[in-house]
Structure 1
Amino acid sequence: MKKQEEGTKKMFRKFFPDVYMESTYKIDFQKLYEKGYRGVIFDIDNTLVPHGEPADKRAVELFENLKKIGFQCCLLSNNQYERVNSFNEQVQVQFIENAHKPSRKNYQKAMELMGTSVKNTVFVGDQLFTDVYGAKRTGIYNILVKPIHPKEEIQIVFKRKLEKIVLYFYEKEQKKKER
């Protein structure tokens, strides 16, 4: 049984985030800047605001702060232009809609738009199989955050059940490292 569990864990590692946090709004971006990061790519829905919601005061303040620190930012979303553009009207950063995450192509395009590279870019998102997996495949440091709101589209609800299994093994491995 132990050997089977090791095989399962190994299979899931490609989905493990570099960091798993409670919220986008708890990330110490100043510290990331001091470590040399210069670009942040964000998913929107359930990462920055509840699904389908416009940018709220907290999101607007986050982007204002990131710009003050010196970060370049880009929104990377699988949503269509109307959704991404309407959110971006409030935060005014680069964006790519209909990104086809986890494809590497638009993670790379986002870095081009920001003038950054895999070495100095961070990705922040709430989904393992699209957001984190795409960032990992591209070689970008990534932070998984817990979804802001439980209301989600049906295809995401199904993926969340699978994510729970992967996160079980991720958290088990993290506890092992801490010991």
Structure 2
Amino acid sequence: MFGRFYPDEYVDSSYGIDYEALWARGIRGLLFDIDNTLVPHGKPETKDAVALFARLHDMGFETCLISNNQEPRVAPFGKAMNSRYLYNAHKPSRKNYRRAMEEMGTDVSTTVFVGDQLFTDVYGAKRCGIYSILVNPIHPKEEIQIVLKRYLERVVLHFYKKSLKN
């Protein structure tokens, strides 16, 4: 029933993902949400985020930030990460997931999406056939519309975790 919202992986943090294993599997493009995936909501880049992206680029990964936020939030962050970026992405619409892959020169078999929300990030990636990794939100402070979605996400995550035991 909720399977369309289930991530392919669920890990604690974007900073704990085994990117070497993804590279070994043939993944060449990484799509990231920003807020509560890489930094707390609305905050600027951190040294950890900059270091992560430098490491990913050194490994050979193409990256693209894909956010529903507006350009004043996303553009400076993208520039700090030395990454492509798409703002006002209308996730979970497929359009900008596809555009991001096109810009990176990847396809669904060589791309992974990393985000903290089931109903936008994961669902949009799954709609495109992109492997999705759900991470725990970095910080509990969020906009009210996201707080409300988190209640529904808890229900879906309950069934997702239950499905892993079967």
TM over 0.5: yes
Is 1:127 matched with 2:117? yes
Is 1:70 matched with 2:60? yes
Q: Which has the higher helix share?
A: 1
Q: Which residue is equivalent to 2:100?
A: 110
| Structure 1 portions without partners, runs of 5+ | 1-10
Among 56, 62, 73, the residue aligned to 1:83: 73
Cα distance, 1:89 vs structure 2: 2.3
Q: Which residue is equivalent to 1:36?
A: 26
Cα distance, 1:86 vs structure 2: 1.6
Alignment map for 1:131-142 (pairs within 5 Å): 131-142=121-132
Deviations 1:138-178 (A, max 9, x none): 000000000000000000000000000000000001122xx
| Structure 2 portions without partners, runs of 5+ | none
Cα distance, 1:90 vs structure 2: 1.2
Cα distance, 1:27 vs structure 2: 0.1
Overall identity of the aligned pairs, in %: 63
Which runs of at least 4 in structure 1 moved beyond 4 Å after TM superposition?
none
Q: CA RMSD of the aligned region, Å? A: 0.5
Aligned to 2:2, the other structure's residue is in SS state: helix
Distance 2:78 2:132 in 1: 22
Distance 2:50 2:14 in 1: 13
Distance 2:21 2:134 in 1: 17
Q: Which residue is equivalent to 1:151?
A: 141
What TM-score, normalized to structure 2? 0.99
